[in-house]
Structure 1
Amino acid sequence: MTFIEFFKQQFIEEGATTRKMLSRVPENKWDYKPHEKSMSMKQLTEHLADLPAWISMVIKTDELDFEKPYENPRVSNTKELLAAFEKSYNDGLAALTPGAEALLDKPWTLRSGAKIFSTDPKIDVIRMALSQQIHHRAQLGVYLRLLNIPIPGSYGPSADENNFM
């Protein structure tokens, strides 16, 4: 199995779980924050919906410069949130082609103008992008739990499914 094949398998599996989680987001809780330092539900879910497109960005570019225009998708309801996720997901999935394998050792830089935060091989950044999706999805799970909204299982049933607990 190539790295691209491995990433594609992981991407598909994590995408299915993220899709289930995003479908539970209540539109009347966009401003909800579990803590003053937390992102709002809207900010968190817009970022989460955008993360799959980072796979395509990493494969097709050599950097992300925060001083250049970049915005997460802006949504106003759960239907738009899921549509934004699907667009991002399809962009990321389309980039995971056999030809991308040859690019994985090339450097990719995260910067804000002259300030460089990191320069890593694209293979490491793709792994980080997948991990970010999992990380922010877990954050969303906390938000939903605190709002008493049933959480779908990620790697097996959740406490809200199938009389698990």
Structure 2
Amino acid sequence: MSGVTQIRDHLLEELNLVVRTVESLLTKIQPEEWEYRPAENMRTLLELTHHLVSIPASDLAILQEKTQTEVEQVETQVSGIRDPLVLAAQFRANYDLLQAYMLSLTEAELLNKSTKAFYLDHGIVQIKWLIEIVTHSFHHRSQLYNYLKQSGHELQFFMLYG
């Protein structure tokens, strides 16, 4: 196995860690908590969760050069879901789609295939897109953890590494 595919696999493992730990965090959410908003200029818990669950699929659509409208359609696929278990299953399914795409790429494609998001004027290579998706997901997982802590949930940081 080459170093490039090892790095890809490590990044996918890290993203899988996000999915597993978010699945665990989602099970703690009670129906009355969905409208929690830590500050007026922040998303509600439901909006944050919908965004986080959509990241693998919406970012995959972006790196595949889908239009803004197509990406927005992907993002709204979860908009009516309030069941934490259904959201967790959708997050897993979105991860599986992204993983399948990344595993289908050759080493040369990972390093050299450049695609341009609808909002950028330049392309980005696939491995950098994967790094962006991982960091984006970790960022919002951290927000979810903090929202739940602020809502009074008893959480321990080690939950984020299990």
TM-score by length of 1: 0.77
What runs of 5+ residues in structure 2 fail to find an aligned partner? none
Provide the residue aligned with 1:130 in structure 2: 134
Q: Deviations over 1:124-156 (max 9, x none)?
A: 111011101100011111110110112252137
- Contact 1:106–1:122 under 8 Å retained in 2: yes
Equivalent AA in structure 1 for residue 16 of structure 2: I
Question: Match for residue 109 of structure 1?
Answer: 116
Give me the identity figure in percent.
22
In the comparison of the two structures, how many residue pairs are matched? 151
TM-align CA RMSD: 2.4
Q: How many angstroms apart in 2 are the aligned matches of 1:54 and 1:5? A: 20
Measure the CA separation in 2 of the matches of 1:125 and 1:99: 13
Tell me if structure 2 keeps the 8 A contact 1:52–1:88.
Answer: yes
Does residue 36 (structure 1) correspond to residue 40 (structure 2)? The answer is: yes
The one of 93, 96, 113 equivalent to 2:102 is 96
Q: Distance in 2 between matches of 1:91 and 1:50?
A: 11
**What is the aligned partner in structure 1 of residue 73 from structure 2?**
70
Contact 2:58 2:74 in 1 (8 A): no
1:54 is displaced (CA, Å) by 4.7
What letter corresponds to residue 32 of structure 1 in structure 2? Y
Listed as ranges, the matches of 1:12-23 within 5 Å are: 12-23=16-27
Deviation per CA, 1:92-148, whole angstroms, max 9, x where unpaired? 232232634332222222225xxx365322211110111011000111111101101
> Compared with structure 1, are the counterparts of its residues 101 and 54 closer, same or farther at alpha carbon in structure 2 (3 Å cutoff)?
farther
| Native 8 Å contact 2:36 2:45 kept in 1 | yes
- SS of equivalent to 2:115: strand
Unpaired runs of at least 5, structure 1:
157-165
> Residues of 2 paired with 1:109 and 1:45: CA distance?
26
Please give the alpha-carbon distance, in whole angstroms, between the structure 2 residues aligned to 1:127 and 1:108.
14
Structure richer in strand, relative to its length? 1
**Residues of 2 paired with 1:9 and 1:85: CA distance?**
15
Partners of 2:161 and 2:92 in 1: CA distance: 21
Alignment of 1:9 with 2:13, yes or no, is yes
TM-score (norm 2): 0.78
More helix by percentage: 2
1:43-79 Cα offsets, whole Å, 9 max, x none, are 11011111233564466x2x24324442422212212
